[in-house]
Structures are given as structure tokens and as C-alpha cells.
Chain A
Amino acid sequence: DAGVTQSPTHLIKTRGQQVTLRCSPKSGHDTVSWYQQALGQGPQFIFQYYEEEERQRGNFPDRFSGHQFPNYSSELNVNALLLGDSALYLCASRTTGNWGYTFGSGTRLTVV
């Protein structure tokens, strides 16, 4: 069982650019959440997807958008990158109704 797989592992982008991060959930999981973890901080909830719909959103601007595909995989898109968007982006999956979230190892995004 591969667990939650995220790609790429590292990424460097220039301020103002756009970025797409990808996540494949753990086998059997149908719900995907995205979190942003700044250096020295705990993860902050961005949004959650279930049945290809955004189910809940955290306090993040519209520059952050996402998508879930029929195979439950998900993408996180960030437009007009700011220096402050530099962080570890974590994907977490679970089976709906189960509280056991499994996290991926994350994508380290650096905006220069």
C-alpha cells in the first residue's frame, strides 16, 4: 500500500507564477484535504474535496483552488504566487466517516 503520494516533492517558483500540486490518496480513501504548513508552524486547513466537490474551505484566498478527479486524486492550484506562499503543502486522505487521516510527505514550495 503506497499511502498518500504527492508530487512533486520540491518546487521553486517565481513570485507571480502559478503552480499545480498533485495528490493520490491512499487506496480505498475517497476524501482529500489540503493543508499548508509554514516553517515552524502547524498545518493549516486549505480545503477538502469529496465526490469531486469542495466540501469545506479554510481561511485562504481565492488564489488557492483545487480539483478532485473521478479516481479520487486531487490537485491544488495556486495563482499569482506570493513570497508568503512558501511552505510545505500536505495532502491528507481518509474514507468518509472515518477520522483516520493519512498524510502524504508533502510538496515543499519555495517562492522567490
Chain B
Amino acid sequence: QKEVEQDPGPLSVPEGAIVSLNCTYSNSAFQYFMWYRQYSRKGPELLMYTYSSGNKEDGRFTAQVDKSSKYISLFIRDSQPSDSATYLCAMSETGANNLFFGTGTRLTVIP
């Protein structure tokens, strides 16, 4: 079993839709949770990060962490064609130097 599981999609939505992206994990020691966006032929770009459980909002993006269920989510409101990319969840233990990534979900927002 992988430490981080993520549905690879692909996911296609119409412009303006609310997008929900999710990851599950098995390591209860994970404390830092991140979402990265990766455009084709580019490196991952950090979108959001949270520590432990709870919600965090930044503009159209909301990250949620439920440590009791080992489940994290990223919501994108009013999705735009420019949001079309692969979204990677990543997580890490406190004091660790490595990130564990999900497989990535490929999202296409159709104008």
C-alpha cells in the first residue's frame, strides 16, 4: 500500500464549477499537508499548506485536513481554464526533510 493515495483522474469540469480533489494517507505521523499545482513541462508550484487538522482558505482555494480519517481535500471555487493542470498532494512528518506525494490528479476546466 502506498503511503499516499490520490485518484489520478482525469477530471473534466465546465468553467465556473466547484472542483474537489482528495487524497488519503496511511501514516498517522504526517503533520504537514500541501497541495502543489503542476503545469505540463513545469515543476510543481506550491498552492496551499496546512499544519495538522483544519481548514485553510486562500482566494478561490480551500484546503481541508481530517487527520482522524487520514483524508485531505482541496476545493477550487469558480474554476477557470487556467486551473487546468495536475494537482499533487504532498505530506510530511514533523522534523522530516522529505515529502511524500500522491500520484496527482489531472484536471481540465472546459471554457
Q: In chain A between 50 and 82, which residues have their CB closer than 8 angstroms to a CB of chain B? A: 55-56, 58
Distance between Cα atoms of A42 and B42 in the complex (Å): 13
Contacts of B101 in A (CB 8 A): 42-44
Distance (whole angstroms) from the CB of B47 to the closest CB of chain A:
11
B102/A42 in contact, CB under 8 A: yes
Check B75 for interface membership: any CB of A closer than 8 A.
no
If the complex has contacts A33-B97, A44-B101, A45-B98, are A90 and B43 also in contact, measured as CB distance less than 8 A?
Answer: yes
Chain B interface residue bracket vs A: 20 to 34
Check B53 for interface membership: any CB of A closer than 8 A.
no
Distance between Cα atoms of A63 and B41 in the complex (Å): 26
Contacts of B46 in A (CB 8 A): 100-102
Number of A residues contacting the other chain (C-beta, 8 Å)?
24
Number of A-B residue pairs with CB-CB distance less than 8 Å in the complex they form: 56
Check B49 for interface membership: any CB of A closer than 8 A.
yes
Check A48 for interface membership: any CB of B closer than 8 A.
yes
A40/B97 in contact, CB under 8 A: no
From A40, A56, A104, A106, B98 is in contact (CB under 8 Å) with: A56
Distance between Cα atoms of A31 and B36 in the complex (Å): 19
Check A95 for interface membership: any CB of B closer than 8 A.
no
A55/B97 in contact, CB under 8 A: yes
Contacts of A42 in B (CB 8 A): 4, 6, 88, 90, 101-104
Distance (whole angstroms) from the CB of B92 to the closest CB of chain A:
8
Q: In chain B between 38 and 53, which residues have their CB closer than 8 angstroms to a CB of chain A? A: 41-46, 49
User: Taking beta carbons and an 8 Å cutoff, which residues of A are in contact with B?
Assistant: 4, 31, 33, 35, 40-45, 48, 55-56, 58, 90, 92, 99-106
User: Taking beta carbons and an 8 Å cutoff, which residues of B are in contact with A?
Assistant: 4, 6, 8, 32, 34, 36, 41-46, 49, 88, 90, 92, 96-104
